[in-house]
Amino acid sequence: MSRIGKLPIKIPAGVNITNNGLEIIVKGKFGTLQNQLPDSLSIQQTDSNLIVTLQKHTREGRALHGLYRTLINNMVIGVSEQFQINLNLKGVGYRAAVQGKSIILNLGYSHPIEMEIPEGISVEVVKNVDINLKGCDKEQLGLFAAKIRAWRLPEPYKGKGIIYEGEIVKRKAGKSGKK
């Protein structure tokens, strides 16, 4: 039995959960998310808790028990509070700006990079170098942050690149000159 899978999910006020057989729909003040459950799992809802139970004790069912409990918990947290990822641009001339429904990045290339902002994600740029991403879908938010970061990964010699807030980039010593 999964230790994480058997934990109850607390449902905050303002979150509405609809369970249609294997499909679960979570609605809150920041949006609506839905997911499809495998047939080896089921959901039992009490007044303020949600419990994911294992129907078929197969190897696959036991493997998915904790995963789907965590996915549903992330859906509940996302529609009630939203997830946030902060990125920092470190480097001379690196800057970002939001224009309409796209983000423009100047990262030292000969041309600016324009990326379309996905539906359900809000982007805020502070002081041209700090990018704040918010959204209710944790998977989509992390994927978009990784796509932005992929344009300039942090490098260990000068510490330049796009860095997650709180990330530590291990620095290396450069070449040593003649002695």
CB neighbour list of residue 29: distance below 8 Å, 6 or more residues apart: 14, 79, 80
Summarised one tens digit per residue, pLDDT across range 93-106 is 999 999 999 999 99
Mean pLDDT along residues 50-54: 89
Burial class from Cβ neighbours inside 10 Å (0-12, 13-18, 19+) for residue 144 reads buried
Residue 177 or 66, more confident: 66
Domains along the sequence of the chain with CATH: 9-80 (3.90.930.12), 83-164 (3.90.930.12)
